[in-house]
Structure 1
């Protein structure tokens, strides 16, 4: 009879442990969803600045490539 009681306790503790793991997994899943939304919002906010920076870099690259090699500024 005592073995059946220990077996019931073991099954109950195992079930409780799985419930705790499921709760933790659910909290992680919610956090990942929230993080994904935050990343998407940040991406939308940074897109205009990123495209402006990309345009400025291409203008600088074009200006640099139009210079002859000997026309650079020298430092002493």
Structure 2
């Protein structure tokens, strides 16, 4: 009877450990889902501003006056 008890103790501890790991994994899963929703909300909010900034950047690059190649900037 004693041998059966020693077998049952590690099995019970292993099962308890798996339950703890499953709980932690579920919490991580919920956190990742929440983080994904937050990222999507942020993308939706920043999307129009990002495209406006890209438009302004392309306008600035198009209006830039080309400089003739020279020696560059020299420090004194």
Do the structures match in fold with TM over 0.5? yes
Structure 1 consecutive aligned stretches of length 4 or more whose deviation exceeds 3 Å:
none
More helix per residue: 1 or 2? 1
Aligned length: 70
Q: Deviations over 1:2-58 (max 9, x none)?
A: 111011111111000000000000000000000000000000000011011000000
Q: Are 1:11 and 2:16 matched, yes or no?
A: no
Rounded Cα–Cα distance in structure 1 between residues aligned with 2:62 and 2:26: 52
Provide the C-alpha distance between the structure 1 equivalents of 2:6 and 2:48, rounded to a whole number of angstroms: 64
Aligned match of 2:20: 20
CA RMSD of aligned residues (A): 1.6
Q: Which runs of no fewer than 5 residues in structure 1 stay unpaired?
A: none
Q: Distance in 2 between matches of 1:36 and 1:69?
A: 46
Task: Tell me what 2:2 maps to.
Answer: 2
Matches of 1:63 and 1:55, distance apart in 2: 12
Match of 2:61 in 1: 61
